[in-house]
Amino acid sequence: MIDCFNQANIKRSIASAAILLVASFFVAVGVAEISFPESLLTFTDQDWLIDIWPKAYRYNIHVGIGACVVCGLLIIPAYKLQKDFAIRALETLCRIGIGGMFIFASIFKIQDPHQFATLVAQYQFFSALHVDFVNNFFALVYPQFELWFGLAMIVSPFVKESAFAIFWMFVSFIIALAWALWNDLGITCGCFELEGAQDKAEAWTSLIRDIILIWPTFWLATRKNKSLIGVWRR
């Protein structure tokens, strides 16, 4: 009887894992379509699709949001099949995904703080507050926060503190992007590239991405402090 129960649990866990892997693929596609429309994970930039539908590339944000919605819907059956396993797997995936993204985002800024400071100045946020001197300090310190809190999210047990810090970084990104859009500033967010003035539509895509990703970050801030190995210990 116990063996049958264990076998049923294993089967449900495998099914839940398979669904979560598919959900992970969809969220990866979603983030790629929203923020990296010419990457390997995107579909709207494929030549065969553009030949059929020349305006397909204009709908990358719609496809990205749709993919994220599908991911959310897939989590429901995975959760129902095996609640405990699904929660552990989701925490692991979110910590690696969000932490890894912040580590990746910090590299370019740490390598070229002068260029990042120039991009920060283009937001004109500190200028409006008459504290221009903060631009350089911000450009030096903020990427370090991204790097170390991103690492802490993955390799340390302090998930609550790391997620809390990253949550407020997302809040600051959202405020900055909303400010740029409100003032009609045609700039990129500076998250993954250090280019200057661009099509302001890129600010919209970055804002949408951050609004989506802030929710799993908030959820991580409610989790108990455990290492990734500890998450899977009984």
Phi, psi of 129, deg, nearest 5: -90, 0
The answer to whether the beta carbons of residues 107 and 38 sit under 8 Å apart is no
The conformational region for residue 175 under phi > 0 = left, psi -120 to 50 = alpha, else beta, is alpha
pLDDT at residue 201, rounded to an integer: 62
CA atoms within 13 A on the CB side of 1: 0
pLDDT at residue 179, rounded to an integer: 84
At 81-103, the pLDDT tens digits run 888 989 999 999 999 999 998 99
pLDDT at residue 78 tops 70: yes
The per-residue b/e assignment along 71-102, b for 16 or more CB within 10 angstroms, e otherwise, is: beebbeebbebbeebbebbbbbbbbebbbebb
Count of CB atoms situated within 10 Å of the CB of 127:
13
pLDDT at residue 72 tops 70: yes
Provide the 8-state DSSP code for 42.
-
pLDDT at residue 200, rounded to an integer: 59
At 151-207, the pLDDT tens digits run 999 999 999 999 999 999 999 888 888 888 888 776 666 665 655 445 556 777 788
pLDDT at residue 171, rounded to an integer: 93
pLDDT at residue 39, rounded to an integer: 75
156: exposed, middle or buried (C-beta count within 10 Å: 0-12, 13-18, 19+)?
A: middle
**Crossing angle of the two packed helices 113-122 and 83-111, in degrees rounded to 10:** 100
